[in-house]
């Protein structure tokens, strides 16, 4: 049987990353976030990294050619062999078509696309409550998933921070715009292939996860 491959979609603050990680942990799939890979590239100081950093810092999307190339290299690594959870990996219809075809060509066709659905009105209050660990990337929510000790990462003990991009209203609006304009088309592409499942993101983490697994037949 082919390894399972899931692509997660969700607006900033929807809980997509949390759900993607839960699924990856339970089913021993490799969790890969394009945002994390691009941030690493930006931190590398290379010329390409500098360009990527400028785009990320402005809340804009990185060009499709770069994304498809990064995806192609990453998805063929041996750690992807048992299955993959793609987190925020695909954000335009061009990427959707290219990455969908590439996954087929490397013998790992997409099992399902998952949309963690959250109304726009919820986004700002969610982002206000979000804290993340600058060391290991763990994410907390002051209301729904607080750390055991205030301000401290449960996993590694580092001081938690609010992400700069979660506090900047204009930046958030730019990202919301990209989500509806560009990522919306990628989501529609998978819906047209009957590969999309939509999960109500306005619930507690465990309830979202239950609905997710049930809709995936897991
Ligand atoms: P994230 O951590 O997923 O919120 O991603 C951070 C930033 O990386 C986004 O705001 C974009 O600038 C960039 N990015 C991540 N994934 C993609 C993608 N598939 N296509 C274009 N840009 C991306």
- The CATH code of the domain that includes 10 is 3.40.50.300
- Comparing CA positions, the residue from 137, 4, 9 lying closest to residue 80 is 4
Query: What's the pLDDT at 11?
Result: 92
DSSP state of 155: T
| Across 54-82, average pLDDT | 92
Please count the structural domains in the chain: 1
Supply the range of the domain harboring residue 55.
4-119+183-216
| pLDDT above 90: residue 184 | yes
| CB proximity list for 215: less than 8 A, separation 6 or greater | 197, 199
Higher pLDDT, 6 or 128: 6
Query: What's the pLDDT at 1?
Result: 63
For a pocket test of ligand 1, which of 17, 88, 102, 163 has the largest count of ligand atoms closer than 8 A to its C-beta? 88
Report the C-alpha gap between 123 and 175 in whole angstroms. 11
| Across 76-101, average pLDDT | 95
| Across 104-116, average pLDDT | 96
Q: Is 146 a member of any domain?
A: no
Q: Is 195 a member of any domain?
A: yes
Q: Which residues sit with their C-beta closer than 6 Å to ligand 1?
A: 33-35, 38, 55-56, 59-62, 67, 88-91, 95, 175
Q: Is 165 a member of any domain?
A: no
List alpha helices for the chain, DSSP H: 16-27, 34-43, 47-57, 64-75, 93-105, 120-128, 164-167, 169-178, 184-192, 205-216
Q: Is 55 a member of any domain?
A: yes
Query: What's the pLDDT at 122?
Result: 87
| pLDDT above 70: residue 139 | yes
Q: Is 188 a member of any domain?
A: yes
Per the prediction, the chain carries an average pLDDT of 92
Q: At CA 63, angle to CA 59 and CA 66, rounded to 5?
A: 120
């Amino acid at each position: 049987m082919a390894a399972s491959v899931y692509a997660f979609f969700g607006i900033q603050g929807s809980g997509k990353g949390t759900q993607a990680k839960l699924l990856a942990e339970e089913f021993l799939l490799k969790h890969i976030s394009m945002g994390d890979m691009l941030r690493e590239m930006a931190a590398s100081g290379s010329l390409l990294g500098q360009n990527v950093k400028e785009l990320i810092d402005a809340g804009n999307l990185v060009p499709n050619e770069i994304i498809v190339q990064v995806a192609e290299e990453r998805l063929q690594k041996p750690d992807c062999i048992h299955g993959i959870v793609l987190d925020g990996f695909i954000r335009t219809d061009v990427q959707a078509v290219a990455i969908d075809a590439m996954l087929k060509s490397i013998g790992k066709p997409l099992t399902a696309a998952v949309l963690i659905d959250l109304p726009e009105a919820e986004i700002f209050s969610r982002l206000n409550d979000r804290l993340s660990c600058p060391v290991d990337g763990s994410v907390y929510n002051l209301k729904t998933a607080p750390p055991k000790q205030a301000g401290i990462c449960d996993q590694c003990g580092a001081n938690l921070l609010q992400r700069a991009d979660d506090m900047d209203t204009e930046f958030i609006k730019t990202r919301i715009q990209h989500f509806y304009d560009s990522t919306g088309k990628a989501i529609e592409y998978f819906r047209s292939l009957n590969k999309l499942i939509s999960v109500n993101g306005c619930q507690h983490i465990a309830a979202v996860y239950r609905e997710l697994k049930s809709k995936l037949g897991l």
